[in-house]
A and B are shown apart, each in its own frame.
Chain A
Amino acid sequence: MNKSFLILKREYLTRVKKKSFIITTLLVPFFMAGIIMIPVWLAMRGDKEERDIAVYDESGLFLGELGQEGYTKYTFIPEDLYRELKNNIRNNSYYALLYVPANIYTTNTATLTSDKQVPFELIEEIESRLSRFIENDKRQKVIEETRVPDLEERLAATRTRVQLNSVKVTDTGEEKKSNSFVAFGASYIMGFIIYFFVFMYGSMVMRSVMEEKKNRIVEVIVSSVKPVQLMFGKIVGTALVGLTQVAIWVIIGLVAVTILQGFFSPEQAQQMGQSIMESQQQINPAASQAAAQEGSQNQLLEIIEMIGNLNLPLILFTFVFYFLGGYLLYSSLLGAVGAAVDNDEDSQQMVFPITFPLILSIIILFPIARNPEGSIAFWASMVPLTSPVAMLARIPYDVPPWELLLSMALLVITTGGAIWAAAKIYRIGILMYGKKVNLKELIKWLRYKN
């Protein structure tokens, strides 16, 4: 046992000290943070370029209505100047030329001419300004015609949005607010994490076995320890590397959250949220700002409540269980492949059939998360090669206990069998050189005594 520990320690330390490990471990959180933060930052920053737009308004509707609007300045010009500028589009101080035709009221079209690629946001902004103005104008006319002065308010009052509160009754008769959206997100994320780690660290075990065989160091080592000890030291050591990585990510995440909280006071955060919302409201001025804000805050509280209503201890337990089960199952099979083959090309041929169920499980993850009671979900969560991903995706939706227990039992039995077979293949394969192995050969190895 002491020797298994030596092996485990070496496997762990050489991996953790590797530059590639340190770099990925440190960079991934920043990368993830970047993916989340950059859009927020961009939205906060907005479009701050000052632009001067020349407007030739044939309709005469907008004269005096548009001037300096935000960072965009509208300058009205007469027709002849417009034509002159248009003919000499490259050499003038205006960013773009806006032509509003006389019949804009009926055609709903105007033309923006520029020698530059006009950003989508600017086009949207101009469109919304023109539309809003015309809309107001039309509305005013309708009010005058119908002679109902508070028509607008009355129409606004008819706006209706029904919200469905889904409540789940538990076995004990307790009522819990459930949210399919939260469950869906949780199941998708967990399925994906399991897939990612099982794949990445299982392959790592395989490469490590192949390296030892290729280096010819393996015979020296198995003259000191049993091949099974070597295999287990490797598998457990690598699993610890994975857990270390997760732990570092969690720590970085917590530190980052703390630092951000220090930097941004709650008011600032609110301001940030408001500025994002404002920019959206410029385009969709329909709902009143206060109501929207209140709604979103309530939603956030509700989501937090719903996460709390998920069976967290069960999720945590099953996550660890299926993570370990899946990892042991796949890493022992991949370790056996690493031992059986001599070179990378042969390994690719054998790896694909083994990892195919795992890839399949990530493909069907979406349908499973959408319909966790369906037959795809059921069978995928029973078959041990797909159950680590599939069952975990079903857990947030509350799986019948017998299904969960059956799936776990099947995984344990299969993993036990896989480890037994892998150990047999491993101890023969690591000392076998220059022989191209096929399935028939591997089955023969399983029958060898000792």
Chain B
Amino acid sequence: MEFFSAHHIDKTFSSLQALTDVTLSVEKGSIFGLLGPNGAGKTTLIRIINQITAPDKGELFLEGHKLKASDVEKIGYLPEERGLYKKMKIGEQAIYLSRLKGLSHSEAVQNLTYWFRKFEILPWWDKKVEELSKGMQQKVQFITTVVHKPSLLIFDEPFSGFDPINANLIKQEVLKLREDGATIIFSTHNMGSVEELCDHIALINKSKKIVDGPTEKIREAYKSNIFKITYQGDMDKVTGALKEYRILKHSEDREVKHLTVQFTNGSTNNELIQALIPVARIISFEEAIPSMNDVFIKAVESSNNN
């Protein structure tokens, strides 16, 4: 079921085209990866979703109705450029930010106490932000993003500033929020976490959406006839038998050898196996799925060349 969608969004800043006819659809309860190089227009799109800026053209829908001003209370946004009032106590500050999202004072205190306890920062409630470590400040920021139980969450580089342990803690919380029914838009340059978390991605380059679809399907689509083979046998003989293929990697690991090979002609898997059978005993044979990193680079480069 569609939870959020953007239709034909255009945005121009005087001479700069920030978004050109961008259309997105985010399924309820999914994690949607919004990817793209720096300056592609991701932040502009996120700001439009948060109604910080208005699009020149296009429409946005949340839960089937047109996005309206009061919807900001259903959205939780953790911007990439984030901070807190340095001289304000964190508890007081968290209450203030929660109340701006529409919570009453008592609801805010109740929800915040839950989260502060969970993240083990309750003893810091009355400390000023400047007395806190960066990691702790990031935790406070994460809490203020989710405290009002938003149904749409937007995280822009949520893991920056966290050590691996706390990054993992946040990752688990993000997954738990999805389990509880929240829909998440997730923007990052960390492709590892995209593979791990995102159900669906869209890639924006130079103001245009160039790739859009379920993560697995996109990786499938970016397969480039590369196969990984493990075998036992003589390496030179194997190399000789595969003259018509492009060998990308060939290595020896005690008894077994690893081979990464790419089809350059229109041959099939069977033909490759037939060429190998006389010279090697095949242990495993699988097609390599490209990493998100490879997909990203390939998609952006090919779009830049067009």
Contact = CB atoms under 8 A, between A and B. Distances in A.
A216 B100 contact: no
Contacts of A31: none
Interface stretch (A77-85, A194-202, A221-229, A258-266): A221-229
Contacts of B50: 223
Interface stretch (B72-80, B215-223, B230-238, B287-295): B72-80
Interface in B56-103: 56, 72-73, 75, 77, 79, 81-88, 96-97, 99-101
Interface stretch (A51-59, A355-363, A398-406, A442-450): A442-450
Given A6-B99, A14-B87, A450-B53, A223 B72 contact: yes
Given A6-B99, A6-B100, A223-B75, A216 B83 contact: yes
A219 B52 contact: yes
Nearest to A219: B79
Nearest to A18: B87
Interface in B162-214: none
Interface in A193-222: 211-212, 215-217, 219-222
A215 B86 contact: yes
A10 interface: yes
Contact of A215 (B13, B51, B84): B84
B83 A221 contact: no
Contacts of B86: 215
Contacts, number: 63
Given A223-B79, A224-B100, A217 B84 contact: yes
Interface residues of B, number: 29
**Secondary structure call for the A interface:** helix
B144 interface: yes
Nearest to B129: A215
A3 interface: yes
Contacts of B300: none
Contacts of B101: 224
Interface in A213-262: 215-217, 219-225, 227
B75 A219 contact: no
Contacts of B258: none
A449 B10 CA distance: 13
Contact of B54 (A220, A431, A444, A450): A450
Given A216-B81, A217-B83, A220-B97, A448 B14 contact: yes
A10 B75 CA distance: 23
Contact of A10 (B53, B83, B96): B96
A217 B83 CA distance: 4
Size category of the A interface is: 20 to 34
Given A216-B81, A219-B81, A433-B81, A224 B87 contact: no
B228 interface: no
B39 to A, nearest CB: 12
Given A6-B96, A6-B100, A220-B97, A215 B79 contact: no
Nearest to A432: B13
B12 to A, nearest CB: 9
A215 B54 contact: no
B149 interface: no
B77 A223 contact: yes
Contact of B100 (A212, A221, A450): A221
Interface string A1-30: 001001100100010000000000000000
A14 B75 CA distance: 27
A444 B13 CA distance: 10
Interface of B: 13-14, 47, 50-54, 56, 72-73, 75, 77, 79, 81-88, 96-97, 99-101, 141, 144
25 contacts: A6-B96, A7-B100, A14-B88, A211-B85, A212-B85, A215-B83, A216-B79, A216-B82, A216-B83, A217-B82, A217-B84, A219-B82, A220-B141, A221-B100, A223-B52, A223-B75, A223-B77, A223-B79, A224-B97, A224-B101, A225-B100, A227-B52, A447-B14, A449-B54, A449-B56
Query: What are the 3 tightest A-B residue pairs by CB atom distance, in nearest-first order?
Result: A216-B83, A224-B100, A450-B54
Given A215-B86, A223-B51, 18 more contacts: A6-B96, A6-B99, A212-B85, A215-B83, A216-B79, A219-B81, A220-B141, A222-B52, A223-B50, A223-B72, A223-B75, A224-B73, A431-B52, A433-B81, A444-B14, A448-B13, A448-B14, A450-B54
